[in-house]
A and B are shown apart, each in its own frame.
Chain A
Amino acid sequence: MNTPLRRVATVMLVMFLALMGSATWVQYVQAPDLNADSRNVRTLYREYGNARGPIVVAGEAIAQSVKVDDPFGYQRQYTDGELYSAVTGFYSIVNGSSQLEHAANDQLTGRSDQLFFSRLRDIITGRKPEGAAVETTLLAAAQRAAREGLGDQHGAVVAIEPSTGRILAMVSTPGFDPNALATHDSAAASAVYAELAAADGNPLRSNATLETYPPGSTFKLVTAAAALESGEYDASTTLPAPVTLDLPQTTATIGNFGGGGCGSNPITLADALRVSCNTAFAQLGMDVGDDALREQAERFGFDDASLTIPMRVVASRFPQDPNAPQTAQSAIGQFDVAATPLQMAMVSAAIANDGKLMRPYVVDRVRAANLSVVSQTEPEQLSTAVSPGTAAQLTDMMVGVVESGSGTAAKISGVQVAGKTGTAQTSSEAAPHAWFTAFAPADDPQVAVAVLVEHGGSAGSEATGGRVAAPIARAVIQAVLGS
């Protein structure tokens, strides 16, 4: 029976050849497709397999990876996830990652070049590589004050330390619970993601840095700065302040809030800012011109698409080549002017810091798993927004706003607060956005803050920046100064 033996031996060889063929198919021909398959989360798994570093606020981890008994090995867990969601973002197997989890991924996974020596040491000593801890600049008290202030309203709060650019608070509402997205139950995580993506107010997108809004009257700070910087104006320069301003080239007019006058006509620049006089500022804007306004806005950080904190920040905009009536509207923060809440906090912060705009940042230190500091963010000046003299005059004017102007709701006894309200029209039907940006103490600024409440929040069409946003700013300032 040697003939059948030989035949069977041949069949066996063919079987092995078939196996080699199928192995080649899987590992070579099909491999690129398989590796690109969205369910092939081996890259993520590899990261999960090594402990991902925590995100830390004042020594407490707000995001950390804990060992679990499933194929991933580690589960990302967020403490006060909703509170910090605009900063941490999420880290999800099925949905990817966002915000700090995304921007600081190399540090958190331990693959950053900064961690080269620590990696080298791991290789030499045979330790499992561990991600580094990312220590943030946030102040828990300020963060909580901001979150409580916004409550159920949609909006955002950003607080910055003017002298350094450290971001002390950054809240966006509605927020989300990153734990629900980080779950390893991929079906549940996908469902939550779909629900959040479709939810009113787009919780997954931070209003603080990724959405722009018409800044309304808070932009008058920029217009005033441009006027003062031109050298042709000072705080006591008088401006025409009619009840309505006829705009050239059109039949359109600009009126004041409430439809009345500005208390006097003409009016000083300081008083115009204090009562937020639209007609005076619209005229002023046309007088200084759109180029001066844009240049001033850019020195405060507008039109800069490259800013990262280290998360990406969308650029705030000042329109290109507006005509005279458009310039007039832009000067009071309407038309196509759009700013992120972070941007408006940067405006206050620059004024507070003698005109020097510091680069805002949220990562203070990166600490390797062995607790050695691998990087420390050094404060860095982005630009000189205004001269110290202009900054001083703007500060005095902003103090007036809170002392006796539109922003009295931000008054804090014993602390001089400098601020500016904003009430930005979006359309004739929707309630206006309520803004407030401020810093305090005026003589030794510790914190600059911007508050945005979308469509007036709970106050609706009755809302003004002074009524709705200013109290939130006050609470955040108190939280920072109190800590």
Chain B
Amino acid sequence: MATVEPHRVRAGRGTELLLLVLALAIGVGAYALVGLGTSDEVPPDVLGYGAGLAALAVALHLVLRWRAPYADPVILPATVALNGIGLAMIYRIDFAYELRDKANGFAGRQLMWTAIAVGLAAIVLVVLRDHRTLRRFTYTAMVVALGLLALPLMPVIGRSINGARIWVYFGGVGMQPAEFAKLALAVFFAGYLVTHRDTLALAGSKFLGLQLPRARDLGPILVVWACSIAVLVLEKDLGTSLLIFGLFVAMLYLATERVSWVVIGLLMFVGGAMVAATAFAHVGARFDVWLHALDPEIFDRAPGGSGQLVRGLFGMASGGLFGTGWGDGRPDLVPYAESDFIVASLGEELGLTGLLAILMLYAVLTQRGMRAAIGVRDGFGKLLAGGLAFVVAWQCFVVVGGVTRLIPLTGLTTPFLAYGGSSLLANWIIVALLLRISNDARRPAPAARGLRPDEPLPDDLLDDVPDEPDDAVPVRVSARGEHPVGAEPDEHPTERIGRLS
């Protein structure tokens, strides 16, 4: 039986404020440097810009102090830094577009979306007092997710841009529903899997050393697989398809700890993708582009050639180790430099050094998300936090891997950096949820708030085993040690709380 050390837990809000100052310095400094690099003067509105960005960050910081005082102190600053770097780059690309009379003004809109997204994150933190509430909406989330995924296929509002049908327009405002779908899917998967993990983890026959699941349990994975393949085929969107499926496989593994699910999932996806690659020219073209990007024939092919990818590589190569500096490169030469290819833009102007730093920020951000998942006590929270942290990392991997030619290129936005309202809103909500869950993970147990070490732990610390009906919130069991077969008992959460301090 775990004991609780009566430590005073450090909430970390002070640390957060300190890190926020650093993150804002990065964002506002980058903005000033863009001005110096492009027009040799510090932008006249740099103070206003800095104040605005600081106000947003501090507002969220205050919301955390008020509603989630034990939230992880690194998540918010890392996000603010990424968002700030993205804004500066978009501002810089705007400048290049303006110089060449191309459509611009992305930075202003991105700033507006940032404000809205931060506001939304604050609302999530205020309204959602306990993340377990979300479990009630497991199937609602499923319906919402499917609806969002199907939305671009609707006539009138759905629109095909560059071959992929991933946009919907409401009165001139475009959005990518897939960004929100990933959020809803994470909620659905967490809710579904936490209930069915035992069944799914039941052993079937053994094959090549892999414990295969029972055939009848393949149902849900087939459904998700069908959905992601449908996205691939109907919306021609390899990125979203990959994103959804990766998220599902990861969460399936988190819930069941069965490697066989991962293997089966990957095989199914690779199989489906290969069939799609042969059946649909545009998917096959992606693979050609990936494997033979530098071939002159494929470079010049239009549409569907490797021109964009290779131009991105050229840009990054010209950036070298230390980059050209803000405003001194030509990131605008790469199509979609402000959104899908913002990583190439950053690589060009900030160099390998800058790009590695940005990747480190992502790594830190997502690892803190995983830390929250490990720390939180309920299975739903673990799955949700793990899934959300994973999906951010996975999205980075798919995008940055595509741009650096590690994997085939797919059209996804880089979280927080890339231009796009949907992406910003969805990812800030993810951050809000991670903050909310991390608050639970790091909140001292009641014991630490005055319980004697020898006193039995109250029930609400032990709501870890989720084998109750879906709608029972919060989920509780009366005692430890009664885990059903297949479900791994949690390590001693209360001990960890002690160690955290």
A residues touching B (Cβ–Cβ < 8 Å)? 1-9, 12-13, 15-16, 18-28, 30-35, 37, 39-40, 42, 45-46, 49, 67, 69, 71, 73, 123-128, 186-187
Complex formed: what's the CA distance from A263 to B39 in Å?
A: 77
Complex formed: what's the CA distance from A19 to B404 in Å?
A: 8
B180 at interface, CB cutoff 8 A: no
Q: Is the pair B101, A67 in contact by a Cβ cutoff of 8 Å? A: yes
**What residues of A have a CB within 8 angstroms of the CB of B330 in the complex?**
42, 45-46, 49
Complex formed: what's the CA distance from A28 to B320 in Å?
A: 6
| Neighbour of A26 across the interface among B39, B313, B333, B374, CB < 8 A | B313
Residue of B nearest to A6 (CB): B374
Q: Is the pair A20, B254 in contact by a Cβ cutoff of 8 Å? A: no
Q: Please, what's the 1-or-0 string for B311-325, where 1 marks a CB less than 8 Å from any CB in chain A? A: 001111111110000
Number of A-B contacts (CB under 8 A): 164
| Neighbour of A15 across the interface among B356, B370, B394, CB < 8 A | B394
Q: Is the pair B317, A8 in contact by a Cβ cutoff of 8 Å? A: no
Complex formed: what's the CA distance from A144 to B333 in Å?
A: 40
**What residues of A have a CB within 8 angstroms of the CB of B41 in the complex?**
126
A23/B352 contact (C-beta < 8 A), A1-B382, A40-B318 known: yes
**What residues of A have a CB within 8 angstroms of the CB of B397 in the complex?**
15-16, 18-19
Chain A interface secondary structure, helix, strand, loop or mixed?
A: helix
Return 25 A-B CB contacts under 8 Å, by A number.
A1-B255, A1-B490, A2-B382, A2-B490, A3-B488, A9-B370, A12-B367, A12-B370, A15-B397, A16-B397, A19-B396, A19-B401, A23-B316, A24-B356, A26-B317, A26-B404, A30-B317, A34-B314, A34-B316, A35-B314, A37-B294, A42-B314, A46-B330, A49-B99, A71-B332
**What residues of A have a CB within 8 angstroms of the CB of B488 in the complex?**
1-4
Residue of A nearest to B400 (CB): A19
Complex formed: what's the CA distance from A30 to B149 in Å?
A: 38
Which of B47-55, B224-232, B358-366 sits within the interface? B358-366
Q: Is the pair A26, B316 in contact by a Cβ cutoff of 8 Å? A: yes
Q: Is the pair A128, B374 in contact by a Cβ cutoff of 8 Å? A: no
The contact size tier of chain B is 35 or more
B27 at interface, CB cutoff 8 A: no
Q: Is the pair A18, B315 in contact by a Cβ cutoff of 8 Å? A: no
A27/B101 contact (C-beta < 8 A), A19-B400, A37-B314 known: no
B100 at interface, CB cutoff 8 A: yes
A69/B406 contact (C-beta < 8 A), A8-B390, A27-B319, A37-B314 known: no
Complex formed: what's the CA distance from A39 to B366 in Å?
A: 38
**What residues of A have a CB within 8 angstroms of the CB of B321 in the complex?**
27-28
Q: Is the pair B367, A1 in contact by a Cβ cutoff of 8 Å? A: no
Q: Is the pair B374, A8 in contact by a Cβ cutoff of 8 Å? A: no
Residue of A nearest to B385 (CB): A5
Q: Is the pair A125, B40 in contact by a Cβ cutoff of 8 Å? A: yes
Q: Is the pair A1, B400 in contact by a Cβ cutoff of 8 Å? A: no
Report A95 CB to chain B, min CB distance, Å.
15
Complex formed: what's the CA distance from A49 to B328 in Å?
A: 11
Q: Is the pair A13, B101 in contact by a Cβ cutoff of 8 Å? A: no
**What residues of A have a CB within 8 angstroms of the CB of B100 in the complex?**
49, 67, 69, 73
Complex formed: what's the CA distance from A447 to B32 in Å?
A: 59
A1/B366 contact (C-beta < 8 A), A27-B320, A49-B330, A73-B99 known: no
The residue among A5, A22, A69 with the most chain B CB atoms within 10 A of its own CB is A5
Q: Is the pair A23, B356 in contact by a Cβ cutoff of 8 Å? A: yes
Complex formed: what's the CA distance from A23 to B379 in Å?
A: 36
Q: Beyond A1-B255, A49-B100: 7 further Cβ-contacts under 8 Å?
A: A8-B254, A22-B405, A26-B316, A26-B404, A34-B313, A37-B294, A128-B99
**What residues of A have a CB within 8 angstroms of the CB of B81 in the complex?**
none
Complex formed: what's the CA distance from A36 to B131 in Å?
A: 54
Q: Is the pair A39, B299 in contact by a Cβ cutoff of 8 Å? A: yes
**What residues of A have a CB within 8 angstroms of the CB of B359 in the complex?**
16, 19-20, 23
Complex formed: what's the CA distance from A138 to B429 in Å?
A: 68
**What residues of B have a CB within 8 angstroms of the CB of A69 in the complex?**
100-102
Q: Is the pair B374, A23 in contact by a Cβ cutoff of 8 Å? A: no
Q: Which 6 A-B pairs have the closest CB atoms?
A: A126-B40, A34-B317, A22-B404, A9-B370, A22-B406, A27-B352
> Which residues from 357 to 387 on chain B have a C-beta closer than 8 Å to any C-beta of chain A?
359-360, 362-363, 366-367, 370, 373-374, 379, 382-383, 386
**What residues of A have a CB within 8 angstroms of the CB of B366 in the complex?**
12
Q: Is the pair A26, B347 in contact by a Cβ cutoff of 8 Å? A: yes
B166 at interface, CB cutoff 8 A: no
The residue among A13, A25, A73 with the most chain B CB atoms within 10 A of its own CB is A73
Report A153 CB to chain B, min CB distance, Å.
39
Report A373 CB to chain B, min CB distance, Å.
25
Residue of B nearest to A25 (CB): B404
**What residues of B have a CB within 8 angstroms of the CB of A26 in the complex?**
313, 316-317, 347, 404-405
B158 at interface, CB cutoff 8 A: no
Q: Is the pair A8, B370 in contact by a Cβ cutoff of 8 Å? A: yes
Q: Is the pair B294, A23 in contact by a Cβ cutoff of 8 Å? A: no
Residue of A nearest to B355 (CB): A23
**What residues of B have a CB within 8 angstroms of the CB of A33 in the complex?**
317
